[in-house]
């Protein structure tokens, strides 16, 4: 969780005064758009978003497949029954197929090799 400062953000007028007091500040020439500097802390109105995921969980490669429309329709129906997206369902089917073919679980639910 991000700690937010307890002081309220400065207004635009206060930021301009601080800039004018700064001896190194140079006013931009004519025709230059002035953009107020960004505060050093995140905007309290914006949501924090999702927590950061484990980088090892990211899928690193893609696979494209050509399918008959009937097969795709059946896969979509099965995915909907399981409450999954089609790509997630197909990934699950492929992992299950590899594990069954090898006779043991060599891949985990994300498709990574299981640690011994």
Q: Nearest Cα to 25, choosing from 34, 39, 11? A: 34
Q: Tokens 């329709």: give the residue.
A: 73
Query: Distance between CA atoms of 101 and 50, rounded to whole angstroms?
Result: 36
φ and ψ at residue 85, rounded to 5 degrees: -75, 160
Mean pLDDT, rounded, of the chain: 79
Cβ atoms < 10 Å from Cβ of 78: 14
What's the pTM value of the predicted model, to 2 decimals? 0.53
Instruction: Convert the pLDDT of each residue in 43-61 to its tens digit.
Output: 556 666 666 677 777 777 8
End-to-end alpha-carbon separation of the chain, Å? 35
In the chain, where the domains are located: 65-116
């Amino acid at each position: 969780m991000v700690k937010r400062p307890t002081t309220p953000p400065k207004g635009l007028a206060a930021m301009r005064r601080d800039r004018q007091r700064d001896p190194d500040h140079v006013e931009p020439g004519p025709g230059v758009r002035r953009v107020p500097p960004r505060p050093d802390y995140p905007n309290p109105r914006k949501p924090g978003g999702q927590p950061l995921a484990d980088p090892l969980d990211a899928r690193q490669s893609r696979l494209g497949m050509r399918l008959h429309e009937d097969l795709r329709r059946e896969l979509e129906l099965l995915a909907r029954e399981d409450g999954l997206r089609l790509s997630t369902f197909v990934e699950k089917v492929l992992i299950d197929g590899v594990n069954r073919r090898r006779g043991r679980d060599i891949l985990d639910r994300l498709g990574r090799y299981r640690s011994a």
